[in-house]
Amino acid sequence: MKILVLNAGSSSQKSCLYNLAGGVPELAPAPLWEGEIDWSVEPGKAAIQVKANGVVQRETIATDFKHDATQQLMQSLWSGKTQVLQQPSDIEAVGHRVVHGGEEYRDSVRVTPAVKAAIARLATFAPVHNPVNLEGIEAMEALLGPDIPQVAVFDTAFHAHLAPAVYVYPGPYEWLADGIRRYGFHGTSHKYCAHRAAQILGRELADLRLITCHLGNGASLAAIRHGYSVDTTMGFTPLDGLMMGSRSGSIDPGILIYLMRKKGYTADDLDTMLNRASGIKGISGVGADMRQLFAAIDQGNSRAQLALEMYIHHLQASLGSMLANLGGLDGLVFTAGVGENVPLIRAATCQAFEFLGVKIDLEKNNAHPIDVDIALPDSQVRILVIHTQEDWAIALEAWQVITNASGG
Active centre residues (catalytic): 155
Residue 75 has what DSSP assignment? H
Gap between the terminal Cα atoms of the chain: 12
Closest CA to 63 of 78, 50, 48, 83: 48
Distance CA 115, CA 97 (A): 13
Q: Do 143 and 88 touch, CB atoms closer than 8 A?
A: yes
Q: Do 241 and 216 touch, CB atoms closer than 8 A?
A: no
Closest CA to 290 of 362, 234, 341, 349: 341
Which residues are CB-neighbours of 259 under 8 A, at least 6 positions away? 265, 269, 270
Distance CA 327, CA 208 (A): 12
Distance CA 3, CA 32 (A): 10
Q: Do 199 and 161 touch, CB atoms closer than 8 A?
A: no
